[in-house]
Structure 1
């Protein structure tokens, strides 16, 4: 079991709904104003974290709105007081020296509540149309590993000289360094072998895409067994939640979203065509019928309040610390989860901690 307390986060709606884009209960809305309101609501409800995914153009349909991640993260850092702000980053879009400086600035604005989530890209047009080019899967991870090693060392206040395959950094130091801890936290996504090597060597938290408990437990065991320096690796899980009074009511809501998601078939065909087929996340998502992104309902958090709470406890026992959650309609379901699930799992965790201490 994870010895770290349970934490719950919410995906910011940077490119609209996560389950279905034709939902009358949640019209498409990816503006800064909505994202700001949602993160402030999440903080007020007691959520611990928010994840702001990074895309420069909408990955589903290019003429739809897309929030910019890092400017939004800086604004949210100033507007919030408690919630962790995680900004995703694709290494090819920013030089590591520039990104390390941005990360340190947001870390200091937030007073030690910032983290970056390293992802190595799957949406080919985003890089190809910019003239950057879309490297092969393993080459992207090799680039990302060198990139994050530079960012981590600069963000730690080190004066750095580095000459590698992709970067030549000479006698570089960033000031002020982190005023609140050694450096901002580093989350890493991806489940391929290069991704596992990268997170074991350079990550603080591994984000696992939603999938059944046994698969998640196997992934945790595999990566946790790898040698690494520093503190033990921690684990997070993406999941789409549908919780109701009864299992039957939850399944009814699940079927509603599944039916709506069928209307997005043309959009999903575009996404498949634009996706690197070697990306393990996409291979995993094709294994089952589900709603949501990054595994969605494959994690099984669909059912009565008691059912969902029990499954969360099982994932926590397997080592998951942070649940990064998706909902639809977002605001009302996020509130429902906080009112119904938080007391069922957070209260028990507090009692367990008290009994041990």
Structure 2
């Protein structure tokens, strides 16, 4: 079981609704105005974190709006006072020296509430059409491992001299240093063997995509057994999940079926989306095992049901080692509020008992 109390976070709506894009009860809106209001409301409701995914173009349809992650995260850092701000980063898009300086600055703006979520890219056109190129799966992770080792050292205030396959850095040091902690927290996503090795070597928290309890428990056991560098704290774990919590199981089931029907309207977009994804990404293989709505595993985590059932399943995941639950909803704002009011107190009572 995690030694820490459970934390609850929300996904920023950087490319609109998470389950279905053509929902009359939640019109498509990926604007800064909506995301700002959503994060401020999440902070007021007691949520602990917000994850701002990084895409330069919308991964479903390039004609749709897409929020930019790092400029938005800097603005959120200035507007909020308590919530943790996690900005995703694809290493090929930023040189590690530039990214480390940006992260360090947002850490200062937030007063020590910033974090990086390292993802090694899966959307081929985003990189290829920019002329950056899209390396094969294991090569992307090798690049990411070298990249994050440079970023980590710079964020710790070290003078970096580095000679690697991808970067040559001579006597680089960033100022001012982080006055709040050793460096911002590093989250890592991905479930392949290279991803597991990377998170064991460089991560603080491993983000697991939504999937059944037994699969999550096996993943935690595997990565927990891996050797960590000297001086690193034990690895912690987060889980992505789409939540449908209602007064009764029947009401939750009806809403899930409604979202499945709406998601069918997006089928042409999903097919195009699937064609753009590296087939070697383990995330895609995991998703194919079960029907679901929502991104990053969505409802496959099983958080669909009445308030008590959802709370019991969250408590079970926490006992297995999940500390941070990164959540999605639809309709997002309304269900985010009801989850905070109805489910979170039940989870805390279960765990305190």
Asked if Structure 1 and Structure 2 have the same fold, meaning a TM-score greater than 0.5 normalized by the shorter chain, the answer is yes
Q: 2:8 matched to which residue of 1? A: 8
The alpha-carbon deviation at position 348 of structure 1 amounts to 4.3
Equivalent residue for 1:328, pick from 330, 340, 344: 330
Residue 215, structure 1, aligned to residue 201, structure 2: no
CA distance in structure 1 between the partners assigned to 2:179 and 2:347 by the alignment: 33
Which structure 2 residues correspond to residues 281-296 of structure 1 after superposition, within 5 A? 281-296=283-298
Q: Deviations over 1:129-178 (max 9, x none)?
A: 00000000000000000000000000000011001000000000000011
Alignment of 1:196-215 (within 5 A): 196-215=196-215
- 1:74 correspondence with 2:107: no
Matched residue, 2:166: 166
SS at match of 1:323: strand
Name the CA distance, whole Å, in 1 between partners of 2:250 and 2:288. Answer: 25
Distance in 1 separating the partners of 2:35 and 2:303: 24
Query: What aligned pairs does 1:12-91 form with structure 2 within 5 A after superposition?
Result: 12-91=12-91
**Which residue of 2 is the match for residue 234 of structure 1?**
236
Tell me how far apart the structure 2 counterparts of residues 342 and 239 of structure 1 sit (CA, whole Å): 15
Does the aligned pair in 1 maintain the 2:2–2:320 contact within 8 Å? yes
CA offset digits 1:232-286 (Å, max 9, x no partner): 0000000000000111110111000011101100000110110000011111111
Aligned residue among 258, 266, 276 for 2:260 = 258
Q: What SS does the aligned partner of 2:99 have?
A: helix
Looking at structure 2, the residues matched to 273 and 321 of structure 1 have their Cα atoms a distance apart, in angstroms, of 33
Q: State the secondary structure of the residue aligned to 1:341.
A: helix
Q: 1:346 Cα deviation (Å)?
A: 2.5
Paired with 2:260 and 2:267, the residues of 1 have a C-alpha distance of 12
Unaligned runs of 5+ in 1: 353-357
Question: Tell me, which stretches of 5 or more residues in structure 2 are unaligned?
Answer: none
Query: Which runs of at least 4 in structure 1 moved beyond 3 Å after TM superposition?
Result: none
Shift of 1:66: 0.2
Q: Using structure 1 for the length normalisation, give the TM-score.
A: 0.98
1:55-134 alignment to 2 at 5 Å? 55-134=55-134
| TM-superposed deviation, 1:345 | 1.2
SS class of match (1:143)? helix
1:144 corresponds to which residue? 144
SS of residue matched to 2:280? coil
- TM-superposed deviation, 1:287: 1.1
Task: Report the Cα distance in structure 1 between the residues aligned to 2:39 and 2:339, rounded to whole angstroms.
Answer: 15
Aligned-residue Cα RMSD (Å) equals: 0.7
CA deviations on 1:56-98 (whole Å, 9 max, x unpaired) are 0000000000000000000000000000000000000000000
Instruction: Tell me how far apart the structure 1 counterparts of residues 178 and 138 of structure 2 sit (CA, whole Å).
Output: 32
How big is the shift at 1:347?
A: 4.0
- Does the CA-based 8 Å contact 2:209-2:240 persist in structure 1? yes
- Distance in 2 separating the partners of 1:348 and 1:311: 11
